[in-house]
Structures are given as C-alpha cells and as structure tokens.
Amino acid sequence: MRQEDKANTRKGGSAGWLETPTLLIAIAIYGAWLVLTAFHSFLPLPCLAMAGGIVIAWHGSLQHETIHGHPTRSRWMNAAIGSLPLSLWLPYAVYRRTHIAHHETANITDPLDDPESQYLRRTGGIRFWLASVERTLAGRLILGPPIRIGHFLALELRNAAHNPTASAREWLPHILLVMLLLGWLRRVDLPVGTYILTFVYPGTALSLLRSFAEHRAHPDRQSRAAIVTRPGLFGLLFLNNNLHAVHHARPDLPWYALPKFHGRHREAFAAAPHYESYGAIASRHWLRPHDVVIHPDHAPGGMHP
C-alpha cells in the first residue's frame, strides 16, 4: 500500500465536506420509502415485499455509511440522515456502538470480543440450535430475521437490566422515532403487521445475505473478512460492502471509493476469502453449512497453537 494511502487512512477518506453520491442515495431511499408506503394499496403483496425489502436493506447500508462518517464531516448530521428506524427494531445508537466496537477489536469473529461475531463459545441449548439453522443460506434467509431480531432484543433487555440509564439513552430516541413512523403508517392506512411482513422481514433477510459469508475465523487477521468479486446489483444495494476486506482495511473510505482502492491494491487482499458472486454463495451453501458454529478458539484444541 502506498504511503499517501496510509496517510489518507489517518486523515479520513472524505475529500470534501459533503459527499454527493451518498446524499443522493439517501434521497432515493427515503423517497422510495415514502412512495411505497403511501401507495402500497396499488401493489400486489409480493411486489410490495420485493420493493419494500430492497428499500429496508438499502437503508441499512446507508446507516452503515453514516456510522463511518459519511456523507458529511458532521457526526450529528450523519446521524440525522441515518437514524430514522425504517426497520423498526434496531436503534441507531446501538448499531453505532456495536459496529464501532466490531471495527476496533483486534479479535474480529471472537464472540468474547466482537459484538458482531456469528460464532458461539459452546455447544448446547437453543442458541446453538438456532445458530446451526443459520449456517445454511436457506435457514439464514427464511428463519434468520426472527432469530436475529429475537436474539438482539433479548440481549438489549439484559443490557437494560444491568445498565438502565445507558439503555434508556439509546432506546428512548429510537422509540420516539418509531412512534412517528407508526403515525405515518396509520395515516397511509398501512397495517403494522403488513409493514413487518413486506418491508422489515424481507429487508432483514437481504441484509443477512450480505453478512452470511462476510467474516470467517482464521489465525491470519487478513483472512477474516471476505470479498465477493462480482456482486452485480447487490453491489449497489450493499453499497460495495461486498468488498468487506477492503472496508476493514479502509473503514474511512466512502462506499463509491472502495472499488477503485481495491483495484489499485488487489494484491494486498489476496489472503481474504473470495467468492465469485452471491449466486455462487447461494448455489454452494443453500442447504450446506457455510462454517462451523463454535469459534475455533473456543473449540477443543483451539485455533491457535
């Protein structure tokens, strides 16, 4: 990696105060959400679920960008752009806290250190069974949304019991925003149950497709984040997070700069797991587990010598 790129890593990746491509994405997402919810009755439910799922997953990608300091240099403005809870269940402040911790840990994938780890420390119990179900892409997409949302809410309830003040700071603004969104859904006569089935459920499933093969436990840190080389339209939907190893190397770069950076430094990511496409992942892992459930460091014998 060239010296100027290392310097840019320290300074931050945004060239200007406002990144127009990301702002346009935000306008497209919120505009599409307003149109779809307002005119939902004109669409058959399968079409609404397809469009609604795309909007929710795209919004999750936008939230990820705002957490990493885009599209402006103002943290509060980025939060204002990303914090609307279109998915209903995930407070922006919680997402930001856990995702920043995910990037800051030296032990990505280890469930003791990485809040976004998909691995467990031990076998047995319903959590192990549910995690086993999610190791196939079919289980991940079909049953993953209620599994993930239920597990997340259970953790947040436990956190609230241990630290109610901190939990309230994260959840109260979220609840107020959710109430505003529910008021809009009532105004446009879109039942909450229908919204969950046609927006939240498919949108969460699409986001789970992105993260299905995103990380893998490996002794070499350079081999823990993956690359999907030909994402197709999923590249735009996930805002180039298919280049996940590149994102971890340069988390300051905006989404539209990742492909060029990857092209210039392709050899630096040779150790990353590579997948040809999301279709290739689906054909191989639709009913075949992608990985083990127990993190190798916590399995008998461990991963490291």
Whole-number Å distance between alpha carbons of 248 and 102: 10
The domain spans of the chain are 3-9+19-298
Evaluate the CA torsion angle 286, 238, 88, 154 in order and state its sign.
positive
Per-residue buried b or exposed e for 104-119, using 16+ beta carbons within 10 Å of the residue's own CB: ebeebbbbeebebbbb
Whole-number Å distance between alpha carbons of 190 and 169: 29
- Which residue has tokens 């960008």? 65
Taking CA atoms, 77 is separated from 17, 74, 82, 255, in Å, by 11, 5, 9, 18
Whole-number Å distance between alpha carbons of 164 and 57: 30
Residue 74 near residue 91 (C-beta atoms within 8 A)? no
**pTM of the predicted model over 0.95:** no
Whole-number Å distance between alpha carbons of 32 and 30: 5
| Contacts within 8 Å (CB) and 24+ apart, 264-267 | 264/5, 265/1, 265/5
Per-residue buried b or exposed e for 196-210, using 16+ beta carbons within 10 Å of the residue's own CB: bebbbbbbbbbbbbb
Nearest to 137 by CA among 241, 208, 207: 208
Residue 282 near residue 212 (C-beta atoms within 8 A)? no
Give the pLDDT of residue 15. Answer: 53
Residue 262 near residue 254 (C-beta atoms within 8 A)? no
Whole-number Å distance between alpha carbons of 33 and 45: 15
Low-confidence ranges of the chain (pLDDT < 70): 1-15, 301-305
Taking residue 51's Cβ as centre, other Cβ atoms within 10 Å add up to 19
Nearest to 152 by CA among 216, 214, 104, 200: 200
Give the pLDDT of residue 61. Answer: 98
Q: Collapsing DSSP states into helix, strand and coil, what is residue 105?
A: coil
